Amino acid sequence: MKVNDIIVIGGGTAGCISALMLKTRFPRKNIKIIESKNVGIVGVGESSTEHWAQFCRFINIPQLASILECNGTIKAGVYFKGWADEDFMHSLITPHSNTIGEYHRNFAHVIANELSPRRMQPAGIWRNELSLNYFSNNNDTPVNQYHFDTYALNKYLHKVCIERGIDIIVDDLCGAKLHEESGEMNSVHSSTQEYRADFFIDCSGFMRLIHEKTYGIKWVSYSKYLPVNSAIAFATDEMEEYNKYTMATARNAGWSWTIPTQTRTGNGYVYCDGFIGKDEAQREMEEAYGQSLEVAKYFRFDPGRLEKAWHKNCYAVGLSQSFVEPLEATSIGSVIQQMFCFMHYLPSYDVDTCNQRVNAIFDNIVDYVQAHYLVKREDTPFWREVKYNLKLTPGLEKHLESWKNRLPVTPDFFCPWGMFNATNYIPVLYGLGWFDVDKIREEYINYGYEVGERNEDLDLVTEEEKSLFWISHKKLIKQLV
Cβ within 8 Å of residue 379, ≥6 positions away:
none
By the 8 A CB rule, do 96 and 122 touch? yes
If phi > 0 it is left, if psi is from -120 to 50 it is alpha, else beta; for residue 472 that is beta
User: Which DSSP string do the residues of 403-429 spell out, in sequence order?
Assistant: TTSS---GGG---TT-S--HHHHHHHH
Instruction: Identify the pLDDT of residue 464.
Output: 86
By the 8 A CB rule, do 210 and 185 touch? yes
- Overall average pLDDT of the 467-475 stretch: 91
Instruction: Identify the pLDDT of residue 214.
Output: 92
The values of phi and psi at residue 25, to 5°, are: -75, -35
- Overall average pLDDT of the 303-309 stretch: 97
Say how many C-beta atoms besides its own lie within 10 A of residue 113's C-beta. 16
Q: What Cα–Cα distance (Å) separates residue 365 from each residue in 104, 148, 421?
A: 21, 22, 10
- Residue 65's nearest CA partner among 166, 136, 152 is 152
- Domains of the chain, with CATH numbers? 5-71+149-221+304-364 (3.50.50.60), 85-142+402-463 (no CATH), 230-300 (no CATH)
Q: 246 falls in which pLDDT band (50, 70, 90)?
A: very high
Mean pLDDT of the chain: 94
Instruction: Identify the pLDDT of residue 135.
Output: 61
pLDDT tens digit sequence for 119-140: 999 999 999 998 877 665 455 5
pLDDT tens digit sequence for 137-154: 455 566 789 999 999 999
Instruction: Identify the pLDDT of residue 41.
Output: 64
pLDDT > 90? residue 455:
yes
Minimum mean pLDDT among 195-199, 329-333, 448-452, 457-461: which range? Answer: 457-461
- Overall average pLDDT of the 396-402 stretch: 96
Where helices occur in 372-415 by DSSP H, the ranges are 381-389, 394-402
Instruction: Identify the pLDDT of residue 338.
Output: 98
Instruction: Identify the pLDDT of residue 43.
Output: 57
Give the N- to C-terminal CA distance of the chain in Å, as an integer: 47
Pairwise CA distance, residues 470 & 244, whole Å: 13
Q: What Cα–Cα distance (Å) separates residue 245 from each residue in 235, 264, 318, 328, 473?
A: 17, 15, 24, 11, 11
- Overall average pLDDT of the 63-67 stretch: 92
User: Which DSSP string do the residues of 115-143 spell out, in sequence order?
Assistant: --GGGGS-GGGGSSEEEGGG--SSS--S-
